[in-house]
């Protein structure tokens, strides 16, 4: 099986690019951020805030997260309910960042991710795919862009979905999440030694896609 690991900070265009690159390659696209978001939603539903003053293990033991592919599109399920759309809010973004710092949560989601890569050709994106989840991935890419460029893209995305946010809020959230994701002790966001760096600050979507596909094709051959 072939596995492509794409890691990088929030808003680097990972999910859009990964989805399109996977399609071009004929691989399944696994968005691992959606799994952390699903766990984040569970904690919100349990009345917990980002301080996570709760019995994490007890909540996890009563949580079922599933991933299914419908017409090649990933859907995530929380306790049997399709929550793929409900997890795309700023509140869930912050909650996902909080729960993802907890080793128990990372452990809870690890085997599911590895199993997908054992059984399929995958393009998997996240924060620790090349470093922890799939250390033997065929190709590893670290995808990034400046914080300003990433906040601009995320802001546009949220406004198009009708979310009421300001650019400053999105930028501040982005910087806060970058900090959380790269400073936590459990699987922090960092470039794997053998990952290829792809900086898309000055690239549009098509240029970024071309860059990714070039790196993947060079890595597979």
Per CB under 6 A, residues contacting ligand DC are 10, 32-33, 36-37, 93, 96-97, 100, 126-129, 177, 181
Minimum separation from the CB atom of position 184 to ligand DC (A): 8
Nearer to ligand DC by C-beta: 161 or 217?
161
Minimum separation from the CB atom of position 221 to ligand DC (A): 27
Nearer to ligand DC by C-beta: 102 or 218?
102
Strand 122-126 relative to strand 196-199, pairing? unpaired
Cα separation, 180 vs 51, in Å, equals 13
- Residue appearing with tokens 């809010």: 89
Minimum separation from the CB atom of position 10 to ligand DC (A): 5
Nearer to ligand DC by C-beta: 30 or 209?
30
Contact between residue 75 and residue 68 where contact means Cβ atoms under 8 Å apart: yes
Nearer to ligand DC by C-beta: 35 or 209?
35
């Amino acid at each position: 099986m072939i596995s492509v690991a794409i890691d990088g900070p929030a808003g680097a265009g990972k999910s859009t690019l990964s989805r399109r690159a996977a399609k071009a390659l004929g691989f399944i696209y696994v968005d691992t951020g959606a799994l952390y978001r699903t766990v984040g939603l569970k904690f919100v539903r349990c009345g917990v805030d980002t301080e996570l003053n709760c019995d994490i293990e007890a909540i996890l033991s009563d949580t079922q997260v599933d991933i299914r592919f419908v017409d090649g599109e990933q859907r995530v399920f929380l306790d049997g309910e399709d929550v793929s759309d409900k997890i795309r809010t700023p509140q869930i973004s912050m909650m996902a960042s909080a729960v993802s710092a907890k080793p128990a949560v990372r452990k809870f989601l690890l085997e599911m991710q590895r199993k997908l890569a054992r059984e399929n050709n995958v393009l998997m994106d996240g924060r620790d795919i090349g470093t922890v989840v799939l250390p033997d991935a065929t190709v590893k890419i670290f995808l990034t862009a400046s914080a300003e460029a990433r906040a601009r893209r995320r802001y546009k995305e949220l406004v198009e979905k009708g979310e009421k946010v300001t650019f400053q809020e999105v930028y501040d959230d982005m910087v806060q999440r970058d900090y959380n994701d790269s400073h936590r002790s459990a699987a922090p966001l960092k470039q794997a030694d053998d990952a290829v760096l792809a900086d898309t600050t000055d690239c549009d979507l098509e240029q970024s896609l071309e860059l990714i596909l070039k790196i993947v094709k060079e890595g597979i051959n």
